[in-house]
């Protein structure tokens, strides 16, 4: 499939560069996360893109932590990011940290001061903002703009030495306060922040701004194609300005549209709110669009990669139907997940002509798509079935259990429903049927064909498990674009807990992370908190897209 796919615009650029012998045909990308949160499906797109391009063109891809902001960054995030990238199936060529370049970035800044291209400004943040001008009006020069090179060098050294308090001084690039692109109106390069950094500790009290640090980090690493999202398009002239003035390796920035998905939010700031305010159980809550959440939900890494590759990348903002991701997940799990029988909403089925104490052990196929053997499923006189598979008064097209109807019990016998028992309030307590011994699965001589097949679990052999029925976290397509707080659009039914579903005994030894198809019910996986004494399953996906039906899509 990928061979036939036409090149995306970045592949076109790269192939062109290779053809022209640019950088000796060398391709070097990087994935530059800020360690201030967990990775989400948008990052996964960027990961597939950067690592994928490097792989396709025999290049390299660096993992660079963009850790220039000491206040929001934590080691926990660094570890989770590395773990998630590995889980997605990628290996970085170098693990690097922008903070390792602090000394080099400082030296670059000194060089710009010496060239008369940077100055120390005593203005407050408010004063700087007030002199920025607007898209229709030029800004005004800072009164400190014409300090001598010597004075700037001295003040910048004093900033580094900790002589000043937070916000007292900044270092700014000296470009043009009337530049049509506001980002080039003497942008900040350094700010003072007396803060502890997760790697450099208290060695620094001045920290470089993103626009100053990013391109220089790319250049230090000889990155050829620096790929970022569209909101940085107006930053590109500044990216180029620093590189040109410093005369360092000319990395080049390219932009693509952020990945947005329906029924979720993607900004780390919003995801952090969901975590901190307890709307979800954590960054890896199975409803979160984070890589760790999707892993815990049971999404296979292959399915996520397939999704990213299928959707490809765009030059313009768009929003992708989350159903596409779920489709990839189902398609993959259909091929890999073993089938098992689990009854979520049980009612007892009694086979009145099956002798008490008798048992059958059936061989049930694990996965018809894989030809990977079978498992033993015990059968007895009393079974659990789904409550919805019986109707006392059923419409004509109801092919499950109703008085007089015949159905096949999956992998076992055909049974004929004979009625039910009720309690004093009229609730059905038991369904009754008789079985046809000659209809045994695999050795069926009954000559009957029935329209319905239902799943079941022998009551005597059943184990119980807690099942978490997950659904979409938001009830509207684009919660960030609705009026008011995005959190008011949280789907109140996004998690339903079934405390005691009946599972077949083969499942008792299921290990965390294992994926199954609960026949007729959906794909499920074993939660990370599951123990042999208390099994917990997460619903990964329904068998079909229930939302598409509802909204009339696809
Ligand atoms: P957020 O806005 O969610 O906080 P971010 O851009 O601040 O994201 P970074 O850690 O800086 O997050 O991102 C690392 C890389 O991942 C960047 O190159 C960024 O462009 C890319 N990236 C982040 N979000 C998306 C997205 N939704 N789609 C595609 N790429 C993304
Ligand atoms: Mg960012």
Residue with the smallest CA separation from ligand 1 atom 10 is 33
Return the closest-CA partner of residue 149 out of 113, 193, 194: 113
Distance (angstroms) between ligand 1 centre and the Cα of 42 equals 7
Query: CA separation (Å) from 77 to 65, 82, 292?
Result: 10, 9, 12
Asked which of 424, 455, 486 is the last residue of a domain, the reply is 455
For residues 272 and 328, membership in a common domain is answered with yes
> Which ligand 1 atom is nearest residue 35's CA?
10
Does residue 114 sit in the same domain as residue 28? yes
Cα 235 from Cα 267, distance rounded (Å) = 20
**Do 195 and 285 share a domain, yes or no?**
no
The residue whose CA has the least distance to atom 2 of ligand 1 is 267
Two structure tokens written together for 181 = 């692109």
Ligand 2 centroid, distance to 411 Cα (angstroms): 53
Alpha-carbon distance 325 to 98, whole Å?
Answer: 33
Judge if 449 and 470 occupy the same domain.
Answer: no
Radius of gyration from C-alpha coordinates of the chain = 31
258 CA distance to ligand 1 middle (Å) = 8
- Atom 22 (ligand 1): residue with closest C-alpha? 43
Instruction: Tell me, yes or no, whether 2 lies in a domain.
Output: no
Cβ-contact 133, 182 below 8 angstroms: yes
Residue 123 sits in the same domain as residue 209: yes
Report the separation in Å between the CA atom of 485 and the middle of ligand 1, taken as the mean of its atom positions.
22
Active site residue 64: no
Q: At 260, list the tokens.
A: 């947005």
Indicate whether residue 229 lines ligand 1 (CB < 6 A).
Answer: yes
Which pLDDT does position 63 carry in this prediction? 98
Q: Do strands 414-422 and 428-436 pair parallel, antiparallel, or not at all (unpaired)?
A: antiparallel
Pocket flag, ligand 1, residue 267 (CB < 6 Å): yes
Gap between the Cα atoms of 312 and 68, Å rounded: 30
Nearest to 547 by CA among 491, 501, 497: 491
Same domain (yes/no): 313, 175: no
Same domain (yes/no): 375, 477: no
CA-nearest of 255, 217, 257 to 237 is: 255
Token reading at 12: 């076109």
Cβ of residue 266 lying under 6 Å from some atom of ligand 1? yes
Query: Is residue 66 situated within a structural domain?
Result: yes
Q: How many CB atoms lie within 10 A of CB 483?
A: 7
- Ligand 1, atom 18, residue with closest C-alpha: 228
Residues 435 and 522 grouped into a single domain: no
Q: Tokens at residue 198, please?
A: 């997760």
Is 265:479 a contact under the CB 8 Å cutoff?
Answer: yes
Write the CATH number for 83: 3.40.50.620
User: Is 42 touching ligand 1 by the criterion CB < 6 Å?
Assistant: yes
| Ramachandran bin of 181, using left for φ above 0, alpha for ψ from -120 to 50, beta for the remaining angles | beta
Q: Is 77 helix (H, G, I), strand (E, B) or coil?
A: helix
Options 34, 302, 382, 466, the catalytic residue: 34
298 within 8 A of 304, measured Cβ to Cβ = no
Q: Are 268 and 454 in contact (CB under 8 A)?
A: no
> Residue 15 falls within a domain, yes or no?
yes
For the record, the structure tokens of 267 come out as 């900004």
Q: In ligand 1, which atom is closest to the CA atom of 267? A: 3
Q: Does the beta carbon of 72 sit less than 6 angstroms from any atom of ligand 1?
A: no
Ligand 2 (ion): which residues have CB within 5 A?
Answer: 34
Q: Does residue 502 belong to any structural domain of this protein?
A: yes
pLDDT score of 74: 83
Give yes or no: residues 396 and 374 share one domain: yes
Domain boundary among 256, 279, 307: 256
Which of 258, 296, 400, 406 does the annotation list as catalytic? Answer: 258
Indicate which residue's Cα is closest to atom 4 of ligand 1: 268
Residue that finishes a domain, picked among 236, 256, 276: 256
230 lines ligand 1 (CB under 6 A): no
The closest alpha carbon to 502, from 529, 527, 537, belongs to 537
Q: For residues 297 and 196, state if they share a domain.
A: no
Cβ pair 135, 187 in contact under 8 A: no
From 172, 185, 268, 472, active-site residue:
268
pLDDT tens for each residue of the chain, 554 residues long:
445 678 999 999 999 999 999 999 999 999 999 999 999 999 999 999 999 999 999 999 999 999 999 887 788 999 999 999 999 999 999 999 999 999 999 999 999 999 999 999 999 999 999 999 999 999 999 999 999 999 999 999 999 999 999 999 999 999 999 999 999 999 999 999 999 999 999 999 999 999 999 999 999 999 999 999 999 999 999 999 999 999 999 999 999 999 999 999 999 999 999 999 999 999 999 999 999 999 999 999 999 999 999 988 888 888 999 999 999 999 999 999 999 999 999 999 999 999 999 999 999 999 999 989 999 999 999 999 999 999 999 999 999 999 999 999 999 999 999 999 999 999 999 999 999 999 999 999 999 999 999 999 999 999 999 999 999 999 999 999 999 999 999 999 999 999 999 999 999 999 999 999 999 999 999 999 999 999 999 999 999 887 665 554 44
Residues 416 and 294 in one domain: no
Under a CB-based contact definition with an 8 Å cutoff, are residues 205 and 191 in contact? no
Q: Is 258 in the pocket of ligand 1 (CB under 6 A)?
A: yes
Q: How far is CA 461 from the centre of its chain?
A: 38
Number of domains in the chain: 3
343 C-alpha vs ligand 1 centroid, how far in Å? 41
Please choose from 32, 229, 304 the residue to mutate so as to test ligand 1's pocket, defined by most ligand atoms within 8 A of CB. Answer: 229
Token pair 């970085």 in the structure block, residue: 92
Evaluate: CB of 480 within 6 angstroms of ligand 1: no
Q: Give the domain extent around 291.
A: 268-338+465-550
Ligand 1 center–CA 493 separation, angstroms: 29
Q: Are residues 32 and 177 in the same domain?
A: yes
Q: Is the dihedral of CA 196, 198, 204, 206 positive or negative?
A: negative
Residue 470 lies in a domain: yes
Q: Is residue 77 part of a domain?
A: yes
The domain spanning residue 397 has which CATH number? 2.40.240.10
pTM (2 decimals)? 0.93
Task: Please tell me the residue having the least CA distance from ligand 1 atom 26.
Answer: 42
Instruction: Tell me, yes or no, whether 263 lies in a domain.
Output: no
Ligand 1: centre distance to CA 63 (Å)? 14
Domain-located, residue 1: no
d(CA 427, CA 424): 7
Known active-site residue 482: no
């Amino acid at each position: 499939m990928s061979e036939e796919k036409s090149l995306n615009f970045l592949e076109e650029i790269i192939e062109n560069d290779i053809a022209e012998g640019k950088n000796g045909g060398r391709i070097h990308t990087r994935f530059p996360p800020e360690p201030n949160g967990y990775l989400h499906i948008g990052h996964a797109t960027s990961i597939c893109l950067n690592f994928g391009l490097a792989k396709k063109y025999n290049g390299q891809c660096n993992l660079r932590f963009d850790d220039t902001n000491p206040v929001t960054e934590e080691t926990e995030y660094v570890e989770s990011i590395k773990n998630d990238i590995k889980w997605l199936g990628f290996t970085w060529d170098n693990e690097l940290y922008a903070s390792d370049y602090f000394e080099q970035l400082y030296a670059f800044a000194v060089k710009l001061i010496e060239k008369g291209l940077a100055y120390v400004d005593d203005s407050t943040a408010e004063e700087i903002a007030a002199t920025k001008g607007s898209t229709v009006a030029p800004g005004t020069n800072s009164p400190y703009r014409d300090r001598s090179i010597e004075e700037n060098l001295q003040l910048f050294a004093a900033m580094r030495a900790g002589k000043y308090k937070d916000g007292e001084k900044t270092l700014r690039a000296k470009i043009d306060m009337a530049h049509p692109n506001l980002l080039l109106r003497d942008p900040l390069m350094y700010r003072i922040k007396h803060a502890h950094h997760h790697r450099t500790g208290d060695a620094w009290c001045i920290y470089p701004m993103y626009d100053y640090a990013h391109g220089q980090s790319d250049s230090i690493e000889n990155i050829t194609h620096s790929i970022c999202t569209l909101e940085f398009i107006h930053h590109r002239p500044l990216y180029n300005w620093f590189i040109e003035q410093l005369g360092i390796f000319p990395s080049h920035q390219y932009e693509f549209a952020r990945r947005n998905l329906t029924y979720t939010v993607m900004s780390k700031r919003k995801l952090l709110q969901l975590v901190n305010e307890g709307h979800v159980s954590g960054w890896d809550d199975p409803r979160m669009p984070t890589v760790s959440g999707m892993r815990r939900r049971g999404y296979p890494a292959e399915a996520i990669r397939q999704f990213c590759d299928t959707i490809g990348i765009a030059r313009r903002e768009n929003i992708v139907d989350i159903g596409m991701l779920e489709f990839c997940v189902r398609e993959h799990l259909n091929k890999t997940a073993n089938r098992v029988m689990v009854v979520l909403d049980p009612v007892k089925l009694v086979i009145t002509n099956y002798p008490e104490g008798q048992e059958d052990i059936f061989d049930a196929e694990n996965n018809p798509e894989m030809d990977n053997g079978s498992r033993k499923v015990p059968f007895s006189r009393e079974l659990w079935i789904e409550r919805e598979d019986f109707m006392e008064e059923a419409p004509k097209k109801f092919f499950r259990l109703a008085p007089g109807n015949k159905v096949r019990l999956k992998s076992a016998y055909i049974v004929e429903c004979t009625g039910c028992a009720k309690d004093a309030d009229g609730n059905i307590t038991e369904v009754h049927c008789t079985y046809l011994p000659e209809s045994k699965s695999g050795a069926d001589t009954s000559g009957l064909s029935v329209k319905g097949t239902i799943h079941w679990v022998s009551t005597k052999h059943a184990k119980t498990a807690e099942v978490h029925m997950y659904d979409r976290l938001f009830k509207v397509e684009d919660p960030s674009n609705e009026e008011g707080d995005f959190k008011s659009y949280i789907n109140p039914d996004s998690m339903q807990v079934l405390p005691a579903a009946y599972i077949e005994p083969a499942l008792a030894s299921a290990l965390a992370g294992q994926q199954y198809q609960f026949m007729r019910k959906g794909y499920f996986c074993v939660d990370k908190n599951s123990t042999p004494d208390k099994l917990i399953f997460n619903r990964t996906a329904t068998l079909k897209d229930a939302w598409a039906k509802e909204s009339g899509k696809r």
